[in-house]
Structure 1
Amino acid sequence: MNAAAPAPRLSPVLAWLRREALPLAAMLLLLCAARDSLANHYQVPSGSMQPTLQPGDRVAVDMRAYGLRLPFTDVQLLGTGRPQRGDVAVFDSPAEGTRLIKRVVAVGGDRVELHDGYLSINGQPLQQAPANEAFGSKQVRLDLDQGGGPDINGITLPEGKLLVLGDHRGNSFDGRFFGLVDADAVYGKALAVYWRRGEGPQWQRL
């Protein structure tokens, strides 16, 4: 009786793929999913958020702050919060889809006025000092060296909408130009500057 034939051996390439490449691919996929759904970073392209953010700043972004999404999609699996006044948020421009970073200054139901770069929300001026506003306990320094930009003569935001502005009020392409932003479309909340050009690593909370 003939002995059973030996089982065919995997080629060295297939053996390497099974042993090394597949685990590496799985790890990279998990890392990409975590970056897409949990935490990410953003590089500031312009001076529209000066003095809070400078061009070239690298910013840590919490992708879970306003909802946990299915990786690589916009499908929200779990609501974890809503954008609040004073938050620095990352979102896509309603005008052209460019990813932007701006400050949320008003939420659904708020009545907004903006004159000479200074906000009033629901009849309450936010100005605390020259070039300074308060969003609750959060103090925000403004840049008004190019004026305040276009005024807003009283609008009330529908529920589910946000008004976003740059802190450099006279040099910001923001909600005064492209309109209101859907709260559900905001990707994440900017937490801190972790790298600034010329200064290196740091952790400057926003």
Structure 2
Amino acid sequence: MRMIVRLWKANKGFLAFLFLMVIFRSAVADWNVVPSGSMLPTIRIGDRILVDKMAYDLRVPFTHIRLARLHEPQRGDIVTIDSAAAHELLVKRLIGLPGDTVELRNNVLLINGVRAAYRPVGTNLLRSDADSPGEYLAERIDGSARIVRLSPDAPSPRDSFGPIVVPKGQYLMLGDNRDNSADSRYFGFFPRDEIMGRARRVAFSLDPSHDYLPRLDRFGRRLDAPLG
């Protein structure tokens, strides 16, 4: 016991800092490692993304208990989801809001009967495309835009669904890597309470295919930068 007291007295400043940092990461902002390519090309494998945990709610640290609802998630937001259905933390793009009618026809998105506009951006833009060719399109609908990736040689068996209506209090999520993403097509709608925060930027990035060397061009990159 005396040893513990001595350690506390000698290190209380540092221990208090660690405690406050844990509280901060739990309730205010955090960074998450992205181990998969489901959000390519927006988020790369090895990116460490900054997540604003107060983007939508103020919560009791270490819990899902909401103290205040600050803002509502919007179409096009990249969000983190503590998914009970997936049994893990997911990072996906919000596509369907409560009450929306959403349809996907051969990877062409329709929301409330309006077809998304598509513009070719290029093919095989990433180094990883050497193993799995990729086709990239700028997708715009209802004021939101992003670049999506398709896999012509390995299309998803779930490249079409709907039309379906998003229930009250639920959201429909898709990955930007449309042919290689476990999202609402597999796990269904996601409840509002499972949305934990909004991904804003890449904090830093390490390339797992090259001995985890830093990708300096990814540091600080905005995830919601407007398309040209």
- State TM-score, norm by structure 2: 0.79
Aligned equivalents of 1:56 and 1:182: distance in 2? 27
Contiguous gaps of at least 5 residues in structure 1: 1-10
Aligned equivalents of 1:81 and 1:45: distance in 2? 28
Give the superposition deviation at 1:81.
1.0
Identify which range, 135-144 or 48-57, moves more after superposition: 135-144
1:135-192 superposed Cα distances (whole Å, 9 cap, x missing partner): 4444211101243551112000111100011111111111001100001211110001
Q: How does 1:120-159 map to 2 (within 5 A)?
A: 120-130=110-120, 131-145=137-151, 146-147=154-155, 149-150=157-158, 151-159=160-168
Partner of residue 86 from structure 2, selected from 75, 96, 105: 96
Indicate if the aligned counterparts of 2:75 and 2:144 stay in contact, CA closer than 8 A: no
Indicate if the aligned counterparts of 1:128 and 1:134 stay in contact, CA closer than 8 A: yes
1:95 maps to a residue whose letter is A
Aligned equivalents of 1:183 and 1:15: distance in 2? 44
1:34-79 superposed Cα distances (whole Å, 9 cap, x missing partner): 1100000111111111111111111000000110110111111111
In the alignment, which residue of structure 2 is the partner of 1:199?
A: 215
Give the superposition deviation at 1:204.
1.3
Indicate if the aligned counterparts of 2:174 and 2:183 stay in contact, CA closer than 8 A: yes
Q: 3-state DSSP class of the match of 1:61? A: strand
Q: How does 1:1-206 map to 2 (within 5 A)?
A: 13=3, 16-17=6-7, 19-130=9-120, 131-145=137-151, 146-147=154-155, 149-150=157-158, 151-196=160-205, 197=207, 198-200=214-216, 202-206=219-223
2:51 maps to a residue whose letter is V
Aligned equivalents of 2:31 and 2:199: distance in 1? 8
Q: 3-state DSSP class of the match of 2:221? A: strand
Task: Tell me the C-alpha RMSD between the 2 structures.
Answer: 1.9
Contiguous gaps of at least 5 residues in structure 2: 121-136, 208-213, 224-228
Q: 3-state DSSP class of the match of 1:187? A: strand
1:73-121 superposed Cα distances (whole Å, 9 cap, x missing partner): 1111111112111011101233232111010001101000011112111
Give the superposition deviation at 1:20.
2.6
Q: 3-state DSSP class of the match of 1:142? A: strand
The size of the alignment, in residue pairs, is 195
2:93 maps to a residue whose letter is R
Give the superposition deviation at 1:202.
1.6
- Could you say which structure has the larger radius of gyration? 1
Q: 3-state DSSP class of the match of 1:58? A: strand
2:189 maps to a residue whose letter is L
**Structure 1 pair 14–144 and aligned structure 2 pair: CA distance change class (3 A):** closer
